Amino acid sequence: MRISVTSVFVADQAKALEFYTDVLGFTKRQDIPVGADRWLTVASSDAPDAVELLLEPNGNPIASTYQQGLYAAGIPATTFATDNLAKEHERLTALGVRFTQEPTRTGPVSSAVFDDTCGNLIGLHQVH
């Protein structure tokens, strides 16, 4: 058994696709119409055949309540890994990404949190 797809709820799939590809650097994997929405996934450009991230519409009241609750509490909806947090923080800041937690080292891990502009806080971490 393996993880093939995980998801984050987003308020606007088109805006999310733009942010996750143009800003974060992911690659679009699947874009399949499903009624008014899409089965829309992205993956790491370094491992496009690995785990996909579903940019899932938050149109369901349960989903939007969950998403808003996480955001209000300052809890990341998901976390991504990087080999160089300082460099990634610098790159994303230059692109206008708003960080709610600057890079912070806690023992063997450094982490930061940013706003994905689609209703989520996203964690970013590096293991030293």
At residue 48, the pLDDT reads 86
Judged against a pLDDT cut of 90, whether residue 7 lies above it is answered with: yes
Neighbour count for residue 103 (Cβ, 10 Å): 17
Tell me the pTM: 0.96
At residue 25, the pLDDT reads 97
| Backbone φ and ψ of 119, nearest 5° | 105, 5
Condensed to tens digits (0 to 9), the pLDDT of residues 60-83 reads 999 999 999 999 999 999 999 999
Condensed to tens digits (0 to 9), the pLDDT of residues 93-124 reads 999 999 999 999 999 999 999 999 999 999 99
Of 73, 80, 86, whose CA–CA distance to 51 is shortest?
80
CB 29 within 8 Å of CB 2 = no
Q: How far is CA 116 from CA 13, 26, 28, 112, 124, in A?
A: 12, 13, 16, 13, 12
Confidence of residue 90 (pLDDT cuts 50, 70, 90): very high
